[in-house]
Amino acid sequence: MLGTIVNTATIVAGTIIGHIAKKGIKEQYQQVLFNAMGLAAVALGFNAVSNNLPKSQYPVLFIVSLAIGGLAGTMLKIDERFKKLSSRIGTSNLAQGLSTGILLYCIGTLSIVGPVMSALYGDNTYLFTNATLDLVTSAVLATTYGIGMLWAAPVLFLWQGAIYLLTLLAGDIIPAPLVTEISVVGGVLIAASGFSILGIKDCKTINMLPALVVPVLFFILKSLI
C-alpha cells in the first residue's frame, strides 16, 4: 500500500500548494489556468482514446458503455445530487473540478495497473510515477477550484486500495484487455470534462460515470459464458 499512500499524499500536498498559490493569483490569471486545465483535459482524454482504441478487442464496447452508463446516471440523477453535495463543501463549480480530478487521478494505466504491480511484486514504480503527475495536476486544479479538491484524495485511496486488496486476495484478476476498455471510456469522459470546463458543451460527465462499470460487467459475463 506504500505506493497508494504516497499517491494520495501527493494529491493532498498538491491541492494545499495550489490553494495557497491561488490567493496570490489575480482573477484574470486564474481564468488562464482554468482554460489551461480544460485544454489539458481534452488533450489527455483524446490521448487515452487514441492510444487504447487501436488495442481494443471490442471497439464498439465503449459506445455501448457510454450509452448505457449515461442513461443509468441520468435516471439516478447523479449529476444533480453530486452538485448539491459539492455546493455544501466548496464553490459552486467544485463538482466540475472534482469529477475532472477524480477521472484524471483514477482512470489510466498507471492508476489501475500500479496497485496490481504493488500487490503482486512489491513494485511501486507505476504508482510513484502516477504520484508525480498527480502532484502537478492537483496543484493546478486547486488554483482553479480551491481546497475542496482535497475530497478527490480519499476517492483515489479507496479506488487503488480496492484494486490492491482484490489482487492480494485473488491474484492478477484485472486482464490487460479490461484495462484497455476502461481507459478508452475514461478517456472519452476526461475529454468531455474538458469541454465542460471550456464552456463548449456541458456533457454532464458525472451522469456518465456508470459507463466505467459496463466494461467490468461485460468481462464478468464473458468469463461466465
| DSSP line for 156-211 | HHHHHHHHHHHHHHHSS-S-HHHHHHHHHHHHHHHHHHHHHHTTS----GGGGGGG
- Does 92 have pLDDT greater than 80? no
What does the block give as the cell for 217? Answer: 460487467
Helices 176-197, 61-76: axis angle to 10 degrees equals 60
Whether 32 contacts 185, CB under 8 Å: no
Rounded to whole angstroms, the Cα distance separating 216 from 197 reads 28
What's the mean per-residue pLDDT of the chain? 90
pLDDT by residue (tens digit) across 42-86?
A: 999 999 999 999 999 999 999 999 999 999 999 999 988 888 888
Rounded to whole angstroms, the Cα distance separating 57 from 75 reads 30
